Structures are given as C-alpha cells and as structure tokens.
C-alpha cells in the first residue's frame, strides 16, 4: 500500500503535517510536482491552478500537458489525499482522470465546509468525485456525511525545532476576523482588565473597524513560521470560535505542542474525553494566577501530545483503503 498526501502549498501545511513523511507507506508533498515539471509544463500548471483561460484549460493545458504529467506520478500510489485549498483539487478534469486510472481520491478538510475552497469557488458538485472525505470538525462532519478525525500536528519535528521559550506576554491570538471581530475585542478587553498582557494579530478588518489598542496589530501578513516564533513568547494561546464550528482548531494543537495554556470560548471541548483539561480554560473561568505564574501541568500535557500525533490521522486514512 502506497499513499500520497498533497498539501495545500502553504508554509503552515508543510510545517504542521510534515510528520507524514515519517509514517510508513506515506509520502507527503507540498509543491504539487511543480519542481519535477519542465518549463512548458510549469507554465501550463500555473494557468490551470489560477483558473485562467477556461477553454485552453480544458482543451489543451489541463487535458494534455498538466494532467498527463501528474497522472504519471500518481500511478505509483493506491490513493492520493488532497488537503483542502490545494489548487489541483478543483481541477475536475484531473479528478476524473485520476479515478479512471483506479486511484482513490481523499480530501482532508481543515476548516468547515462553508469556509472550504469548494464553497468559495462554487464547486461543491466536485465533492461527488472524492471517494473519501474527512474533517476535523465533528459537527460539520455529521452535517455533511464526512468522517471525523481529531486535528493532528507534527509534534516530533516542531517541538524540537521550536524548543526555546522566552516569555514576553501572557496571551497570544492570531486569526482572521471572519465575523467575530467584536468577540475577539471583547475577549481582549476582558483579559487586559484582569492584568494579562496581550499580543493580538487580527486580519481581515475593514478600515472603519480599526480600533487602535495596545498589543493589537491589524491586517499584518504573517508566515506560519512567524506565528510559531510569536507563540514561543507567550504563556497562553487564545481561541475564539467561528460561527457554526464545534471543534477546537489548530490553536489547541499549538498549545499542546509548545506547553502553553489554552483559553477558548468552545464549550464543546469540555465534553471531549480525548484531551485532558488541566491546562485549558474557558474564557469566563480562567485561573489568572496560574497563567501569570506559569503553573503549567506538563505531565497531563504529555498525555495530550500522544493523542494529536500525525500517526493518528494516518491510521484513519489507512483504514479507508
């Protein structure tokens, strides 16, 4: 059995799921074969993935140049799993050709469906071409008939790479506003008023909604490596859930990996028996003294680390074969 996992070409995907390369029977690629293409193929690939010139995409570039080159690589595998937002995932011609060659197709959703590339590009009908669909969000999985997996993280590589800890602030937050700006700023005020220093990065905020606040930076583009560097400087990570989401996000995985307190407004997390809650607080019931004095329970957190290993999602994928 050989399984290929294709990332979504972002630096966070490379870092967060790089441990796939260490799992038996798995290969992990985040560049979508671009490095293996010749110049003509690279030009064709760029046009295809950017959805330019639809007629040429279907008649020439997709059918002749790009698809054949990629299929040649995929024939080495029993199945190929795409992360959502991989541009090839919305190439219907390629998906059809993959299936014709007897290769199973899977999709890993790291966001709820309405925030996925299928929804943004208006291609939900393409979901019928996907054999296996798994999502980190339990409620969204049940709603759409997907299998559910617990959010996984490259514990081994990242915990070694980012082992330095230099505290500069108490609470770190990073994320797009996505209709929750008021909730984020209310959380900021609540934490600041109780003596915690904050380092917030909020993106996707319109000019008329920019409120200058100490420790708040708006609309700053950050690589995931920069996010990880900022995480090393804090005692705790804040999560504010998006509407309709029910399962905690990558922020929880980061807090476990790097031994940080986790503050969240997700009440569903406290009915989840997979994770020990010793270092986790609901937003309205924080142990402020523990955070200020960094009284972190490393023993229970070590148990949590074992539960978010990439090997866990690898087992789910293998069981689908």
The confidence band for 71, taking pLDDT boundaries of 50, 70 and 90, is: confident
In terms of pLDDT, which residue wins out, 271 or 187?
Answer: 187
In terms of pLDDT, which residue wins out, 286 or 300?
Answer: 286
CA dihedral 206, 207, 208, 209 (to 10 degrees): 60
Q: What is the CATH number of the domain that holds 177?
A: 3.40.50.2000
Least confident range of 43-52, 72-81, 226-235: 43-52
Q: What is the CATH number of the domain that holds 133?
A: 3.40.50
Torsion over CA: 193, 194, 197, 202 (sign): negative
The confidence band for 286, taking pLDDT boundaries of 50, 70 and 90, is: very high
Local structure of 231: helix, strand or coil: helix
Residue ending a domain, among 149, 177, 205, is 149
In terms of pLDDT, which residue wins out, 60 or 228?
Answer: 228
Domain match, 140 and 250 both? no
pLDDT in tens, 121-177: 777 788 999 999 999 888 899 999 999 887 789 987 887 787 767 789 999 999 999
Domain match, 270 and 167 both? yes
How far apart CA 119 and CA 242 sit, in angstroms, is 16
Least confident range of 64-78, 87-101, 274-288: 64-78
Domain match, 15 and 143 both? yes
Domain match, 214 and 127 both? no
The pLDDT, as a whole number, for residue 135 is 92
pLDDT in tens, 175-223: 999 889 999 999 999 999 999 999 999 999 999 999 999 999 999 999 9
Domain match, 142 and 214 both? no
Q: Which residues of 260-282 are buried (b: 16+ CB within 10 A; e: fewer)?
A: bbbbbbbeebeeeeebbeebbbe
The DSSP element (H or E) to which 9 belongs, if any, is: none
Domain match, 100 and 37 both? yes
% of residues, the chain, pLDDT over 90: 50
Domain match, 121 and 181 both? no
Domain match, 130 and 268 both? no
Least confident range of 67-76, 91-100, 285-294: 67-76
The confidence band for 35, taking pLDDT boundaries of 50, 70 and 90, is: low
Asked if the structure places residue 71 within a domain, the reply is yes
Mean pLDDT in residue range 229-252 = 90
Asked if the structure places residue 126 within a domain, the reply is yes
- Asked whether the predicted pLDDT for residue 53 surpasses 60, the reply is no
% of residues, the chain, pLDDT over 70: 88
Asked if the structure places residue 317 within a domain, the reply is no
Domain match, 168 and 105 both? no
Domain match, 138 and 208 both? no
Domain match, 212 and 81 both? no
- The DSSP 8-state label assigned to residue 309 in this structure reads B
Asked if the structure places residue 200 within a domain, the reply is yes
Asked if the structure places residue 114 within a domain, the reply is yes
Residues spanned by the domain of 231: 158-307
Find out whether 56 and 46 touch, Cβ atoms under 8 Å.
no
Asked if the structure places residue 312 within a domain, the reply is no
Q: Please give the tally of structural domains in the chain.
A: 2
How far apart CA 54 and CA 7 sit, in angstroms, is 24
Residue ending a domain, among 96, 129, 149, is 149
Asked if the structure places residue 313 within a domain, the reply is no
The pLDDT, as a whole number, for residue 146 is 94
Domain match, 162 and 145 both? no
Asked if the structure places residue 318 within a domain, the reply is no
Block residue for tokens 């798994």:
134
Residue ending a domain, among 149, 182, 206, is 149
Mean pLDDT in residue range 257-286 = 92
The pLDDT, as a whole number, for residue 172 is 98
How many CB atoms sit inside 10 A of residue 117's CB? 20
């Amino acid at each position: 059995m050989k399984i290929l996992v294709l990332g979504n070409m972002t630096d966070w995907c490379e870092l967060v799921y790089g441990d796939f390369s260490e799992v038996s029977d798995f290969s992990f690629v985040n560049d979508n074969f671009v490095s293996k293409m010749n110049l003509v193929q690279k030009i064709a690939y760029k046009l295809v993935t950017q959805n330019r010139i639809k007629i040429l995409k279907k008649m020439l570039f997709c059918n002749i140049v790009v698809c054949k080159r990629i299929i040649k690589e995929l024939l080495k595998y029993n199945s190929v799993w795409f992360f959502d937002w991989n541009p090839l995932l919305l190439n219907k011609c390629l998906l059809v050709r993959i299936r014709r060659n007897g290769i199973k197709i899977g999709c890993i959703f790291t966001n709820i469906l309405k925030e996925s590339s299928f929804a943004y590009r208006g291609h939900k009908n393409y979901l019928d071409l996907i054999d296996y669909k798994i999502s980190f969000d339990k409620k969204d999985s049940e709603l759409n008939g997907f299998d559910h997996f617990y959010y996984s993280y490259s514990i081994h590589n990242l915990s070694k790479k980012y082992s330095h800890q230099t505290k500069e602030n108490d609470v770190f937050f990073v994320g797009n506003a996505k209709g929750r700006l008021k909730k984020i700023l209310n959380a900021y005020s609540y934490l600041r008023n109780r003596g915690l220093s904050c380092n917030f990065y909020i993106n996707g905020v319109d000019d008329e909604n920019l409120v200058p606040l100490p420790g708040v930076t708006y609309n700053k583009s950050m690589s995931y490596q920069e996010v990880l560097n900022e995480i090393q400087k804090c005692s705790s990570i804040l999560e504010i859930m998006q509407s309709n989401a029910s399962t905690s996000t990558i922020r929880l995985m980061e807090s476990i990996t790097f031994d940080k307190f986790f503050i969240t407004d997700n009440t569903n997390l406290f009915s989840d028996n997979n994770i020990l809650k010793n270092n986790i607080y609901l937003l309205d019931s924080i142990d402020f003294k523990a955070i200020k004095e960094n009284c972190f329970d490393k023993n229970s957190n070590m148990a949590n680390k074992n539960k978010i290993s990439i090997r866990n999602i690898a087992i789910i994928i293998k069981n689908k074969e």
